Amino acid sequence: MAFKHIEGNQRAKRILKLALERGRLPNSLLFAGPQGVGKMRTALTLAKALNCLRPGADSCDECDSCRAIDGGRFPDVMVIDVKDEKKAVAIEQIRLLRQMAYLRPMSGKRRVFIIDDAEDMSTPAANSLLKVLEEPPPVSHIILLAASPFLLLSTIRSRCRTLSFTAMTDEEVERALRDDGRREDQARILALLAGGNLRRAMELDWEEVQARKEGSWLLFEALLSKDRSSLFLDRFGSLPKAALEEFGQTLELFSSFARDILLVKLGGDPRLLLNPDLEERLRTASARCPVPRLLAALAEFDLVLAELPRNLNKNLLAAALFSNIGEYRNV
Ligand SMILES: [Zn+2]
């Protein structure tokens, strides 16, 4: 995947491309940011761009070098996954890195070492790496990927040029999913549920998502009805920790249902529905929901969604949502 095909994180990509064009890419880089937002993808693209046989500051994805790097069989690009390896292996790999970093590349132009989950390095491994960073090898680039960069030794951090990676927007995740061959209607909902994390979006199973949608729809209808609304509290009033993500995803779905009903009510283009598979039910529900009530419910969902990452007491949030929606229940 070339830079021009990677969605999101425009700023980081721009800095890297500019450095490549000027031939002034720092030897030590730290990509800092949450899981699943494209740090590894960007690091591999950088490795390809550095070794691509065609001119330009991007990877062509077609030459022998680019293809070998994509296939994980390029001797000058090494990916070290600290989390997956036993710590002892990680130390050995860092020692190997230390020996190889100063040698001329075998077949490429530049050696690139990518260290995933770098903050999980053991102290001996980190100290060994520090030695390399203190005397940067002229022909090698070392890229550290870390979700929690503050856990790295400050001496390591200070020797790396740090680039911040942030969660992708829903639109960026959706585009990336479509580029990956997902159907448009699936991509839209998956992006919504993944919270800016492309990897999570790619890992979501469509059948499970549909089952969750089904369950969420029943809860949504219950929440807005007078006699069955307590179903919602039964489900989310006392949440175990493991269900927190589910609560967020359920609210995302609630919000998508409410937006769809609004679209139906206002006579919008059905192709814009987030849940085209539920069109029939959305139409039935729209007959019962006055617009002001929908708008108020939508505002409540979005408010709780915004509050969710900050507020530790999700059960309280669920209860507050339940009581605030209460004013708008009719049927
Ligand atoms: Zn190439």
Q: In whole angstroms, what is the distance from residue 309 CA to residue 244 CA?
A: 10
**What spacing in Å lies between the alpha carbon of 45 and ligand 1's midpoint?**
10
Q: Cα(175) to centroid of ligand 1, in Å? A: 24
pLDDT of 242 > 80? The answer is: no
Distance 136 CA to ligand 1 centre (A): 26
C-alpha of residue 90 to centroid of ligand 1, in Å: 30
Single pTM value for the model:
0.72
The length of the chain in residues reads 331
Span from the CA of 83 to the centroid of ligand 1 (angstroms):
30
Centre of ligand 1 to C-alpha 56, Å, is 9
- Report which of residues 221 and 195 the model is more confident about: 221
Any idea which of 18-22, 133-137, 211-215, 315-319 has the lowest mean pLDDT?
315-319
* H-run or E-run covering 146: strand 140-146
Does the pLDDT at position 237 exceed 80? Answer: no
Q: What is the pLDDT of residue 241?
A: 64
% of the chain at pLDDT higher than 90: 42
pLDDT at 199 over 80: yes
- Mean pLDDT for 60-81 is 92
In this structure, the number of other CB atoms found within 10 A of the CB of residue 242 comes to: 7
CA of 321 to the centre of ligand 1 (A): 53
- CA 118/CA 306 separation, integer angstroms: 30
Mean pLDDT of the chain: 87
Mean pLDDT of 96-116: 90
Residue 5 C-alpha to ligand 1 middle, in angstroms?
A: 14
Q: What pLDDT does residue 320 have?
A: 82
Mean pLDDT confidence for 306-325: 78
Tokens 């390029």 belong to residue: 74
Spatial contact of 117 and 81, defined as CB atoms under 8 Å apart: yes
Ligand 1 centroid – CA 2 distance (Å):
9
pLDDT for residue 70 = 93
- Is residue 85 scored above 60 in pLDDT? no
pLDDT of residue 321: 82
pLDDT tens digits along 12-64? 999 999 999 998 999 999 999 988 889 999 999 999 999 999 988 899 999 99
Q: 263 alpha carbon to ligand 1 midpoint, in Å?
A: 46
Residue the block writes with tokens 């108020």: 296
Q: Which residue has the higher pLDDT, 40 or 315?
A: 40
Centre of ligand 1 from the C-alpha of residue 61, in Å: 5
pLDDT value of residue 331: 44
Tens digits of per-residue pLDDT, 210-224? 999 999 999 898 888
DSSP line for 46-100? HHHHHH-SSSSSS--S-SHHHHHHHTT--TTEEEEETTTS-HHHHHHHHHHHHHH
Are 160 and 29 in contact, with CB atoms under 8 Å apart?
A: yes
Question: 56-81 burial, b if ≥16 CB within 10 A, otherwise e?
Answer: ebbbbbeeebbebbbeeebebbbbbb
What CATH number is given for 3-164 in this structure?
Answer: 3.40.50.300
Domain boundaries, the chain: 3-164, 205-326
pLDDT value of position 47:
96
Return the biggest CA–CA distance within the chain: 75
What distance in angstroms lies between residue 107's CA and the mean position of ligand 1's atoms? 13
Which helix (H) or strand (E) segment is 328 a member of? none
